[in-house]
Structure 1
């Protein structure tokens, strides 16, 4: 089992993401890396548990997901080999194979993350029976916060030109996602379209009200952020949601403290996002302010990292606050501060992983025509600024030569016939 987990982490957590990034950038290292990863690591890692007696591994969601995961991996390999042969160029069949190959590659991050989560649940024996619903809520919501943090980080670095081309803002997109999420949450927490009857539990009322808050406040943000305007509404929604979660009373005091820390982290993330919008100094995201670019990609400053990092940490905390996890922590006599430090460490490690993958993409990304134009404009602007500075220095030097210092006479124009008496 340990060898199986190690192989899965190496293949699906490291090598396959690296291969996908190289494939996006059309690197020559993409085909051999994916081939080696598939044949030598991924497929053995998936099939390893089946080599042991079946009674050692009960059927669960983790084992059932391995079949579509294996098929997608094999499909990715076969379509990649077909594309590498360069047969049937400029045909509809080749175009379809290329689309399928791209879909497989883009599904890997979601499938890998889901399989990792299900693997941890299966190893600990959680989320069976009546606890399944609570686990789904925590892991889906926690993954959503982590995904939101990742999306913000990527959009800050790579999405600014896309936002300008489509004349929209990140806040507008955020509000649409929040609104849709709120509508789904409102009409599913107490049964689909409130089909669970008239008896509402405490948590049903809490979660339904929270969904309505997201939906209606999201609509306000959609209106305010129209025409590529910035809006504080997404940050305000995150901050108020954190306050709500921080106020949630749980059946176990330890769990209440963990939920409270999660809520405070969300409140901090929302507040920083509001400050970022106000600090931008312009309502329009079309502004070129703070658009320092390298190779056509915006450089993130220290302040830009705060909100995505806090969202990732908050998502990690929420995923680790199910009732069964809390009971397990209580059994080993760990206090809540130590447990939260562990979650912050895991969240920081996840964010580090995001940054490493982003740096790899940036370092292997080829320059296209638009990027070359941006770099040329930046070089021209820098050269022009240096020439202006040189001209200013020359003017000051010429101005200084018009005067000379004579003892007892102060500054005297050069060539004057003033004679010291």
Structure 2
């Protein structure tokens, strides 16, 4: 098995080297005509703006993410307390605080997101309050539809919108940086949106893969569909949307239209084949192969600036590597099983999720205005790529810590063998018998239960 992995890894190195060598060497990128004036305007009040940004990052991303873990683990009182703090900050953020760009105003998207979060946190806290009072509803209206709604549905909706609140905070943090730097105005808006949406999609895919890997009852699940079946459905849907939205019919076709529309076509074509191949609970390499094709295309994507072309090339290499690593994991490491028979996580399995997160960070930071700022600052593409890699490491570290927190709140611990007795035995978890006595306590269909919250709080 490992000889096959070695040969595949050697082939991967060759492919990456070929993709990198294919990038044409060009002269250094020119700076903007008004580079000194632009940099001077950006430096004005930059320290205060960055302090404000780190505060918003903590209040709108870190705190809501921790609250999300408590909510999913049925610790509603703690999650509501944390969300109340975030909600109070969202009011201050929307009413008082600003992220002015060099021209002295904040763009409408960033401002609109701030007001959206203010309203959304009101809904989150309202839903959480109903969850806390649902025991009363169950007692007084146990035979009515109101009692059923309060006891069964509101905990589920509360957990869902708690996740959405953390995700919206992540989007707001990205919008804040865009506002500070004065990006994405006029003709640049469309390109910024494309890079932001696609980049966050890669990050979300990496987080999804990490979740399916780290959470034990997801990793060893005997659900009737494999993970690649769901992946293929999402890839197909995303490809259909991209195919029909990347070009406006009343405008002439451009180079970027051809590039992005063709990516949409390959997504739904590979996705449909993946749905067929992963039916009947089979593992499939098609979602990973989609990443390989997309990575190759992006590595060959010509750009006006050398720095932009190098960043796109490295992004394509990372995406290509992520897809190849996923193929190796499914075919050679796990031998088409959902997980290893011992229930363990191999270190190799963490590579693919990290590659997806890194690809997303790179693509979000590869829009033309941001690359031009890198050039104006006098930095080269290698330094910029290292900063992007560092950011991806911190983002992935934070998400893995959140998963570990959720496991701890649910009674599991990666460092303790006790809760994993059924996962580290000799039973084949894919085809054998399940010896877990309390496995049903952690099934996804129990997300509506909140009896644990009364005990924990």
**TM tier relative to shorter chain:** 0.7 to 0.9
Per-residue CA distance 1:359-409 (angstroms, 9 max, x = gap): 111111147xxxx99856469869xxxxxxxxxxxxxxxxxxxxxxxxxxx
Q: Report what 1:290 is aligned to.
A: 340
Q: Which runs of 5 or more structure 2 residues have no equivalent in the other structure?
A: 1-48, 428-457
The 2-side partners of 1:16 and 1:139 are apart by: 21
Per-residue CA distance 1:70-109 (angstroms, 9 max, x = gap): 1121222233234334432241452464454334312112
Q: Does 1:345 align with 2:390?
A: yes
- TM-score normalised over the length of structure 1: 0.78
Change (3 A) 1:338 1:81: same
- For the residue of structure 1 that corresponds to 2:136, the secondary structure is coil
Q: Which residue of 365, 370, 376 maps to 1:325?
A: 370
The 2-side partners of 1:35 and 1:205 are apart by: 44
> After the TM superposition, which residues 7-406 of structure 1 pair with which residues of structure 2 at under 5 Å, given as runs?
7-27=55-75, 30-31=78-79, 33-34=81-82, 37-38=85-86, 41-49=89-97, 56-85=104-133, 86-89=135-138, 90=142, 91-92=147-148, 94-95=150-151, 97-158=154-215, 161=218, 164-191=221-248, 195-196=249-250, 199-280=252-333, 282-285=335-338, 290-293=340-343, 299-366=344-411, 377=422
Q: Report what 2:30 is aligned to.
A: none
Bigger radius of gyration, 1 or 2?
A: 1
The 2-side partners of 1:167 and 1:97 are apart by: 27
Change (3 A) 1:186 1:51: closer
Change (3 A) 1:143 1:378: closer
The 1-side partners of 2:253 and 2:234 are apart by: 27
- For the residue of structure 1 that corresponds to 2:97, the secondary structure is helix
User: Number of residue pairs matched?
Assistant: 364
The 2-side partners of 1:51 and 1:145 are apart by: 27
Change (3 A) 1:227 1:123: same
- What RMSD over aligned residues (CA atoms) do the two structures have, in Å? 2.9
Which of structures 1 and 2 has the larger relative contact order (alpha carbons within 8 angstroms, sep 6+)? Answer: 2
The 2-side partners of 1:207 and 1:2 are apart by: 34
Give 1:139 deviation, angstroms: 0.7
Give 1:204 deviation, angstroms: 1.2
- For the residue of structure 2 that corresponds to 1:196, the secondary structure is coil
Give 1:247 deviation, angstroms: 0.4
Per-residue CA distance 1:3-51 (angstroms, 9 max, x = gap): 5423322222222211221122123761563265246644334433179
Tell whether the 8 Å contact from 1:163 to 1:169 is kept in structure 2 after alignment: no
- TM-score normalised over the length of structure 2: 0.73
Q: Which runs of 5 or more structure 1 residues have no equivalent in the other structure?
A: 294-298, 383-421
Give 1:259 deviation, angstroms: 0.5
Give 1:321 deviation, angstroms: 0.6
- For the residue of structure 2 that corresponds to 1:178, the secondary structure is helix
Change (3 A) 1:163 1:130: farther
The 2-side partners of 1:310 and 1:137 are apart by: 20
The answer to which of 100-109 and 341-350 deviates more is 100-109
